[in-house]
Amino acid sequence: MTNKDPIIVGAAEANQRFSRLLAESEAGREVVITRRGQPVARLSAMAEQASPAGADDREPGIGRAAGADLPDYAKRVQLIETCRRMNAIGLNQGTSGNASVRIAGGVLITPSGLDYDVTTPADIVRLNPEGKPQGGRRAPSSEWLFHVRILEAKPRAGAVLHTHSLNATTLACLGRGIPPFHYMIAVGGGRDIRCAPYATFGTEKLAQAAIEALDGRLACLLANHGMIVIGRDLKDAFNRAVEIETLAAQYLKALAVGTPNLLTVGEMDVVLEKFKNYSAWADPKR
């Protein structure tokens, strides 16, 4: 087997080994994910696919014809690829998750209720900074309000991801955030990951609850709902979402056996200091 051979891996194993597979994909290796022996998804590096210059070389799927001349084409493609990746690794099911990315003079967001496998760049919805759709043929995700409000409240953030991922959502349904049971909690930007109180989806109340839970943080849970992460860009947000979901799974497993030992404030502060460069892009006050 040479390095050019694709890595073929089952969905459950892909979930476990995701960080490694992501690195292989970014290094140019094709990763094919299978379910019951049948290929169901493929990982390919976003950097390659997002480049309009390379668009002619892409395989059909996203399709250059479907809007290569649209403004912010590369970011539209990245949004779709990010959502497909969330589904491919089981971070998201169906169309429940959504993503947004900041552009000059507004926000691009995934459309409402459209399967990401058939979403094209022209289906991505452009909103002005107040959240008003700017043309286009689709309605924005029903969660558009918290995306817009969070990008407004976090001027240095470039992207917001939202999923109903299994483990984070399980904790959120118990109304529990994630305490510092593991030092990697620092990827959430602080000493813990909070769970915002429940509010109906799509409401201002939910947007404000999320902003409060994200104060000084880069991730939060939403009670009886799911998870939100922010990132410098889509890739940063995606990587953070994978980490948070992994932490949620580990915390649930630890809770099932006993009472996890928590790190102290002092220990977490040491880790946060070491993580400083990792989140240096974020507002120092956050």
Return residues touching Zn ion (CB under 5 A).
Answer: 226
Catalytic site includes residue 143: yes
* Separation between Cα atoms, residue 192 and residue 79, nearest integer Å: 28
Q: How far is the CB of 71 from Zn ion (least distance, A)?
A: 27
Catalytically annotated residue among 24, 81, 143, 243? 143
Rounded least distance, CB 97 to Zn ion, Å = 7
Nearer to Zn ion, 77 or 207 (CB): 207
CA-to-CA separations, 166 to 12, 100, 179, in angstroms, rounded: 13, 21, 18
- What's the burial of 39, exposed, middle or buried (CB within 10 Å: 0-12/13-18/19+)? exposed
Of 77 and 196, which has the nearer Cβ to Zn ion? Answer: 196
Q: Which is nearer to Zn ion, 141 or 279 (CB)?
A: 141
Nearer to Zn ion, 177 or 226 (CB): 226
Instruction: Give the nearest distance from C-beta 267 to Zn ion in angstroms.
Output: 33
Least separation in angstroms between residue 220's CB and Zn ion is 13
**How far out from the chain centre does Cα 123 lie?**
19
**C-beta nearest to Zn ion: residue:** 226
The residues carrying an active-site annotation are 143
